[in-house]
Amino acid sequence: MKLIIKSENLYYLIIPVNLKEEKEEIIISKIKNIFLKYNQKYHLLEPGFYEVDVYHHQIVGTILSIEKIDTFDFSEEVDLRVIIKDKIKIYLRLIDPTDFPDYKNKIDIDKITLKEYLKLIEHANLIIETKKVLT
């Protein structure tokens, strides 16, 4: 399953690949290969420089947050800077809360099981929060 969530200047690409146990260099290489092949097929991004933040969630999978940083005027290249991060919060927002009265409208994925997630995902939208935490 591959899912794209697009906002004005940001894409989220969700892929069912577990990269949590891999070394950083291998993760970066795999992400670049996956994304560039996907972009070649669907032409999501125009030439330019993009920052790709990689998050892993044990239930959802690998989440790529792709943000355009700069446009290339004289090149057809797509250049990616991949950064591995570990802070992400994902919620499900039920499309029709009356279908599942046992759940709140906004469900924290970390507080449900994989079985519940699979039951609810078809009836909900994903909300991805990657706010930077100040320490």
Residue ranges per structural domain of the chain: 3-84, 89-129
Mean per-residue pLDDT of the chain:
79
d(CA 9, CA 4): 13
- Strongest mean pLDDT among 84-88, 114-118, 130-134: 114-118
Element (H, E) at 119: helix 114-120
Query: Nearest 5°: CA angle at 53, between 93 and 78?
Result: 115
In angstroms, the CA 103 to CA 67 distance is 33
Task: Give me the pLDDT at residue 4, please.
Answer: 59
Whether residue 7 is predicted with pLDDT greater than 70 in this model: the reply is: no
Instruction: Classify residue 1 by its DSSP letter.
Output: -
Report yes or no on whether pTM surpasses 0.85. Answer: no
Q: What share of the chain is helix, strand, coil (3-state, %, to 5)?
A: 25, 40, 35
Q: Which residue has the tokens 């906004």?
A: 106
pLDDT at 132: 52
The size of the chain, in residues, is: 135
For 64-76, b/e burial (b = at least 16 CB within 10 A) is bbbeeeeeeeeee
What was the pLDDT predicted at 37?
78
Q: What is the pLDDT of residue 135?
A: 35
